[in-house]
Amino acid sequence: MKVLISDDLSKQGIEILKKAGLEVDVRSGMKPEELKAVIKDYDGLIIRSATKVTAEIVEAATKLRVIGRAGSGLDNVDRAAATKKGIVVMNTPGGNTITTAEHAIALLFSVARQIPQADASMKSGRWEKKKFMGVELYKKTIGVLGIGNIGSQVARRCLCLGMNVLAYDPFLSDEKAAELGVKKVELAELFKNSDFITIHTPLTPETKNLINKDTIAMMKDGVRIINCARGGIVNEKDLLDALESGKVAGAALDVFEQEPTPPDHPLVKHPRVICTPHLGAATVEAQENVAIAIAEQIVDYLVHGVIRNAVNFPSIPPDQVPVLQPYIDLAERIGLFASHLFEGGITEVTVEYRGEAAGINTAPVSVAAIKGLLTPLLQETVNFVNASIIAKERGIDVKETKAKEAGDYSTLLSLKVRSPQKELLISGTLFSRRSPRIVYIDRFPVEIVPEGIMLLMYNYDRPGVIGNIGTLLGKNNINIGRMHFGRESQGGLAISVVNIDSEVSEAILEEIRRLPNIISVKLLSLP
């Protein structure tokens, strides 16, 4: 398998890829048309911030299985296009945490004491002590927007400086806030009460232009703003106007809407703005960390099939693989089985977890069930990455439920498939915690090994049904591997599943349909 590295990457990462047996090409600085021309030859792509993986590039990537970003930001990757095509997109969210947090603190000191401006003044031959009057950080209030990996580290360091820390994050729990020692507040309160505001959120439609003329108007007069997150979160024109009016006393920016910035960018030239050229992750340690991390993740996926830090598929840590893999296999087989039985348009799918199954990481298991359900219809166009989005595009509502009780089984996984007219329920379990079995088809208890070629028949529970089936298959030289039966009551409706060693023709299926007490027959084939 081949991996393309299209941006600068530390040598340690390249060596990890090569030692794993991957063929590696390093071609940094390619133009978009050059990348588009060669990407068809690669199974993996590793980038940093320079390469733009557009929808056009993704469309040209006929073999590509994974895009790895050595760093946390992914605004240079068209994730929707990659997901739709079934390409895993992963990053290294922890590799530059400390480095970026330290850079934010460095900018915090710099904007409070105007250190770069004073340095430039002295180097130009002046001694302007009175011009650069600063403010203390001690006992000041800083608002931290986003308490993820980086924001949490910034908050801890600010607390050590004797600052009061206000924190806003839609996912911040009361328990986590208490553990960090920060005060959890709503956005408006943070804007209103902060002397300094530092930004540590991703750039999303919700955070784009989060700092604008309206939110700045809510802030204290003389507030100072630090942004080491992403350009576009701060509206640059509105910030410039606030600096000019004096509403904002100073700003320290490591990121910009356009990078590299134009030489005449008004914020870069503003005397009360400190600028650095996207240096948040620019340390020797961070570059090595993210290179090693992304290389190991690429190897894990391409060589071992383990997904970590994917943004478009539930990650499976290596220590969870032995537990989850049997469930993933069971769920996919249940989905495949259901797809063969259910006819008509699907509007709703519910994946139910009972007993021990309710305690696992269910996200990748549910994806496996959806992938299995859609595979017979869409074949190679559906995989574990794009199954959920394909289901959504087709108007299929996917749900999950969990329950502690599993009836007669210690663990039970069920798939309910619905349309406005009908419903199908397939339930399965794991024998010896590894071997998949289907144990219910609707109301029929069964014990089916879901693999190979199978004949599934609905019939009336009458004497001679099993013998007739066996005789007909034997007459046509078709060997039976297993037979499974279930009935709702003695003499009532029943289900018969026969594993056979070879395919059967439509003519033989028609013969089976004509046997006494046979209601219907389907041919199933599972890997």
| CATH label of the domain that carries residue 488 | 3.30.70.260
Consecutive H or E run containing 76: none
pLDDT above 70 covers a percentage of the chain that reads 99
Q: Same structural domain for residues 101 and 249? A: yes
Q: Same structural domain for residues 136 and 21? A: no
Q: Same structural domain for residues 30 and 73? A: yes
Q: Which of 168-177, 204-213, 233-242, 450-459 has the highest mean pLDDT?
A: 233-242
Consecutive H or E run containing 166: strand 164-168
Q: Which of 92-101, 171-180, 250-259, 393-402 has the highest mean pLDDT?
A: 250-259
> Of 210, 446, 189, 485, whose CA–CA distance to 334 is shortest?
446
Cα 207 to chain centroid distance, Å, stands at 19
CA-to-CA dists, residue 468 to 83, 248, 252, 406, angstroms: 49, 87, 83, 36
DSSP letter at 479 equals -
Confidence class for position 246, pLDDT limits 50, 70, 90: very high
Mean pLDDT of 16-41: 96
Mean pLDDT of 262-275: 96
Q: Same structural domain for residues 262 and 359? A: no
CA-to-CA dists, residue 180 to 145, 154, 165, 166, angstroms: 14, 11, 10, 11
Q: Same structural domain for residues 101 and 224? A: yes
User: Is there a domain that residue 426 lies in?
Assistant: yes
SS3 434: coil
Q: Same structural domain for residues 104 and 232? A: yes
Determine the structural domain holding residue 512 and report its residue range: 451-527
Confidence class for position 381, pLDDT limits 50, 70, 90: low
User: Is there a domain that residue 446 lies in?
Assistant: yes
Q: Which residue has the tokens 């911040």?
A: 172
Residue 192's region, left for phi above 0, alpha for psi from -120 to 50, else beta, is alpha
Mean pLDDT of 276-282: 92
Q: Same structural domain for residues 228 and 126? A: yes
Q: Is there a contact between 230 and 205 (Cβ–Cβ < 8 Å)?
A: no
Per the structure, how many domains does the chain have? 4
The tally of CA atoms less than 13 A away on the side-chain side of residue 371 is 22
Q: Would the pLDDT of 393 be above 80?
A: no
Q: Give tens-digit pLDDT for 507-524.
A: 999 999 999 999 999 998
For the beta carbon of residue 265, count every other beta carbon within 10 angstroms.
Answer: 17
Q: State the amino acid at position 63 in one-letter form.
A: K
Q: Would the pLDDT of 30 be above 90?
A: yes
User: Is there a domain that residue 311 lies in?
Assistant: no
Specify the higher pLDDT residue, 93 or 22: 22
Q: Give tens-digit pLDDT for 435-476.
A: 899 999 998 999 999 999 999 999 999 999 989 999 999 999
User: Is there a domain that residue 465 lies in?
Assistant: yes
Q: Are strands 480-487 and 518-526 parallel, antiparallel or unpaired?
A: unpaired
Q: Would the pLDDT of 317 be above 80?
A: no
Q: Which residue has the tokens 């739709």?
A: 84
Q: Same structural domain for residues 355 and 431? A: yes
Q: Would the pLDDT of 422 be above 60?
A: yes
Q: Same structural domain for residues 83 and 124? A: no
Which pLDDT score is estimated for 379? 56
User: Is there a domain that residue 342 lies in?
Assistant: yes
| CATH label of the domain that carries residue 381 | 3.30.1330.90
Which of 53-67, 87-101, 308-322 has the weakest average pLDDT?
308-322
Which pLDDT score is estimated for 256? 96
Residue that finishes a domain, picked among 423, 450, 477: 450
Q: Give tens-digit pLDDT for 137-196.
A: 999 999 999 998 899 999 999 999 999 999 998 878 888 899 999 999 999 999 999 999
| CATH label of the domain that carries residue 41 | 3.40.50.720
Q: Same structural domain for residues 31 and 111? A: no
What distance in Å separates the CA atoms of residue 380 and residue 391, rounded to the nearest whole number?
Answer: 15
Q: State the amino acid at position 174 in one-letter form.
A: D
Which pLDDT score is estimated for 154? 97
Q: Would the pLDDT of 65 be above 60?
A: yes
Confidence class for position 80, pLDDT limits 50, 70, 90: confident
Which pLDDT score is estimated for 69? 95
Mean pLDDT of 321-342: 91
Residue that finishes a domain, picked among 450, 485, 514: 450
Q: Same structural domain for residues 137 and 218? A: yes
Which pLDDT score is estimated for 166? 98
What distance in Å separates the CA atoms of residue 280 and residue 171, rounded to the nearest whole number?
Answer: 24
Confidence class for position 392, pLDDT limits 50, 70, 90: confident
User: Is there a domain that residue 141 lies in?
Assistant: yes
Which pLDDT score is estimated for 491? 85
301 exposed, middle or buried (CB, 10 Å; 0-12, 13-18, 19+)?
A: buried
Q: Same structural domain for residues 117 and 81? A: no
Query: What's the mean pLDDT when you consider all of the chain?
Result: 92
Mean pLDDT of 410-424: 93
What distance in Å separates the CA atoms of residue 480 and residue 498, rounded to the nearest whole number?
Answer: 7
Radius of gyration of the chain, Cα coordinates, nearest whole angstrom: 30
Q: Would the pLDDT of 319 be above 80?
A: no
SS3 85: coil
Active-site residue list: 230, 259, 278
What distance in Å separates the CA atoms of residue 51 and residue 32, rounded to the nearest whole number?
Answer: 8
User: Is there a domain that residue 309 lies in?
Assistant: no
DSSP string, 313-382: S----GGGHHHHHHHHHHHHHHHHHHHHH--S---EEEEEEEEGGGGS--HHHHHHHHHHHHHHHHGGG-
- List phi, psi (to 5°) of 458: -95, 135
The angle formed by the CA atoms of residues 371, 377 and 433, to the nearest 5 degrees, is 35
